[in-house]
Structure 1
Amino acid sequence: MINRVIWIVLDSVGMGEMPDAEKYGDVGANTIGNISKVLGGLTLPNLEKLGLGNVDTIKGVEKVENPIGCYARLEETSNGKDTTTGHWEMAGVVSKKPFPTYPNGFPLDVVEAFERAIGRKIIGNKPASGTAIIDELGEEHIKTGQPIVYTSADSVFQIAAHEDVIPLEELYKMCEIARHILTGEHAVARVIARPFIGNMSNFTRTPNRRDFSLVPPHDTLLDVLKNNGLNVMAVGKIEDIFCGKGITEAIHTKDNMDGMDQTLNYLKQDKKGLIFTNLVDFDMKWGHRNDPEAYGKGLEAFDVRLGEVLAQMKDTDTLIITADHGCDPTTPGTDHTREYVPLIAYGKELKSNVNLGTRKSFADIGQTVAEIFSIPSIKNGESFLKEILR
């Protein structure tokens, strides 16, 4: 009997272009595959023995004859390639209409409404790299006290502010105000607080980022788990992505290693239900910044920590590893990429070496977790539990 699921999302670790990648400008994208080529191979022994190399070609990660895990690649049914869309679909929400994006910045009526509500003018209002825009406008922000508002190719309204100029609580309040304004046709997927510190020669973003997402349009797997008396322990930005809905307890983290520490701490507590972890550094620090070398090292560092998870798992635990989209750092752009994502499932209650092929929706994971705990099924997805259960 499975009492607990440890579900780790490697944020942006995509695995090859989807059939409709051309529509998104992502032909040739293959986040983990292209990184492995650039680095001349990746060393991921734990992921290798679980079957990652059996899903698709990754230089340095071999296809093994008898992997201990079950493996697949997942196709995204939703229209989009962002964090919210990917995570929501995993938990049962398929988004047919993409969230709005703003390649020319936000319209005047949105900006003016926000400025009136916060009592300050803003600067920026354009798509930009988060690190580049604070280098460009950080000094002006410090002099004027005006927050930096910017977006990206994703559906995001981001507010950057120096922690000594606009304290964190005030920045978070600004984000809440923006979240209330950004509804209807301007209902962006996320409003993001982007605090930073330092001076002109050395501005640095802090770990105090917060995401203010839309509320999911209907109950997700997390709600069903919670409503049926199970624990839903959120690590990283999971709580933000689901607006706290369906979460029984949450810990925000400062980086991937902290995320793994907190996951391992939850493993020690032996509570029945779901440990749901997002590791954001792959996306935020390395994917968007086109840094395949650091991305590859991050994957190898995760693989080492994965060994600790495998060693600590009980016979009644099941491990699921996947991703929410791609963010290929080897391509010219700095945006997310429309890709398949890998799926690994492992546990003593599961069979080994089960090739689940290419699944049609990320929601298949959520539906499988629902069946594991014998709770009502979620709105989308097809369970693969019968194929992997001993």
Structure 2
Amino acid sequence: MKSFYLSRPSRSLLKEGLTHMHFRRVIVVDIASLGLGAMPDAKRYHSEKANTLGHLDEQYLLNVPTLQRLGLGNIRRHHQFLTIPPAKTPLGFYGKLKVRTHSGTKDASLREMFDFNEPLRTLSVFNHLSRCHYRTIIISRFISYLADQDCCLQIQSANDNTGFRKLINNLKQMDTGLIYLQVPELQWVATQKDPQGYAARLSIVDKQIELLMSTLTSTDLLIITSSFANDPSYPERQITREYLPLIMYTPEVSKGHYVGTRKSVGDIAATLIDNFKEPGTEIPLSNSLLRSM
């Protein structure tokens, strides 16, 4: 396991744009199934009217104060949500991710999010970091792509409470590395096409994220996103072609900003490789989200 401290540039350097932040620990919380509205090519995927968060916002009084403070309500800049007002001073860096893969499966979007290309092969960030001796943990109800990450510590979690508890417990024992949690219950409610249950479950996830944030230090980066969308108000498909949310938070920064609509969910992989980059690793990192913070 790596025991050194990753470099921490001063705030003055950050303001001058001379460098960008790096973090000892990165936590990725995948609120799988949460989407932000149909992408331009959604008609090809029979999802032109899909809008997971937008439909919930129209039907229910959403109770997500933690995500609201982080900037969830700021992402939709031209047509604000009814029940998630934009934060005046958002704590997080926020934006949207595009899905580029043409396969509408959970595995395909996870591959786009976490795989990267070297000159002679394609690797997953999980196994790459693990082989570089960073502690790497996956907590999820496993699907095939996640189960294939055999170099990592894999922890099965059938419900949200267990998943967040195991995340926090492992975080306390981790000096540096990556923890990925895929929230299981929200996506299950989405497959049942139960929008009211989905809204209630999203509120519970919001409270769990608040608890997680209280345990973080200034050398931690929390990335909240979704690996696929599934609008529970949209009965036609199990997976809907939507923009995906992106929120990044670190206690090191008291005010975030908009980071735009990213061209690919693969920017997550670029960010992780950029943060934990090994000397001599030849990987293009221009899409790293660290350079937008």
Q: TM-score, normalised by structure 1?
A: 0.64
Residues in 2 aligned to 1:377 and 1:32: alpha-carbon distance in whole angstroms: 38
**Do residues 28 (structure 1) and 52 (structure 2) align?**
no
What secondary structure is seen at the aligned counterpart in 2 of 1:312? Answer: coil
Alignment deviations for residues 231-279 of structure 1 (CA, whole Å, 9 cap, x no partner): 1111013574233326421110111221111111112212311000101
Q: Show the 5 A alignment for 1:351-390.
A: 352-375=255-278, 376=281, 382-388=287-293
2:69 to 41, 46, 49: 49
> Where does structure 2 lack aligned partners over 5 or more consecutive residues?
1-7, 9-22
**Do residues 304 (structure 1) and 173 (structure 2) align?**
no
Code of the residue aligned with 2:290 in structure 1: it is L
Q: Number of matched residues?
A: 264
> Where does structure 1 lack aligned partners over 5 or more consecutive residues?
95-216
Is this contact kept in 2: 1:364–1:381, CA < 8 A?
no
Where does structure 1 differ by over 6 angstroms across 4 or more consecutive aligned residues? none
Residues in 1 aligned to 2:115 and 2:282: alpha-carbon distance in whole angstroms: 9
Code of the residue aligned with 1:306 in structure 2: it is I
Change in Cα spacing, 1:377 to 1:259, as seen in structure 2 (3 Å) is farther
Q: TM-score, normalised by structure 2?
A: 0.84
Is this contact kept in 2: 1:11–1:281, CA < 8 A?
no
- The alpha carbon displacement at 1:93 in A equals 5.2
Is this contact kept in 1: 2:271–2:285, CA < 8 A?
no
Question: Which of structures 1 and 2 has the bigger CA Rg?
Answer: 1
Q: 1:129 aligns to what? A: none
Alignment deviations for residues 126-170 of structure 1 (CA, whole Å, 9 cap, x no partner): xxxxxxxxxxxxxxxxxxxxxxxxxxxxxxxxxxxxxxxxxxxxx
Q: Show the 5 A alignment for 1:147-296.
A: 218-237=122-141, 240-245=144-149, 247-284=151-188, 286-296=189-199
Code of the residue aligned with 2:82 in structure 1: it is K
Higher mean C-alpha displacement, 375-384 vs 69-78: 375-384
Residues in 2 aligned to 1:7 and 1:295: alpha-carbon distance in whole angstroms: 21
Percent identity, aligned pairs only?
Answer: 28
Residues in 1 aligned to 2:267 and 2:179: alpha-carbon distance in whole angstroms: 18
Is this contact kept in 1: 2:73–2:81, CA < 8 A?
yes
Is this contact kept in 1: 2:75–2:96, CA < 8 A?
yes
Change in Cα spacing, 1:374 to 1:18, as seen in structure 2 (3 Å) is same
Q: 1:76 aligns to what? A: 99
Residues in 1 aligned to 2:244 and 2:85: alpha-carbon distance in whole angstroms: 18
Q: 2:110 aligns to what? A: 87
- The alpha carbon displacement at 1:344 in A equals 0.4
1:58 to 63, 81, 86: 81
Q: 1:187 aligns to what? A: none
- The alpha carbon displacement at 1:86 in A equals 1.4
Code of the residue aligned with 2:109 in structure 1: it is G
What secondary structure is seen at the aligned counterpart in 2 of 1:242? Answer: helix
Change in Cα spacing, 1:377 to 1:10, as seen in structure 2 (3 Å) is farther
What secondary structure is seen at the aligned counterpart in 1 of 2:54? Answer: helix
Change in Cα spacing, 1:223 to 1:381, as seen in structure 2 (3 Å) is farther
CA RMSD of aligned residues (A): 2.0
Code of the residue aligned with 1:342 in structure 2: it is P
1:11 to 27, 32, 40: 32
Residues in 2 aligned to 1:343 and 1:58: alpha-carbon distance in whole angstroms: 16
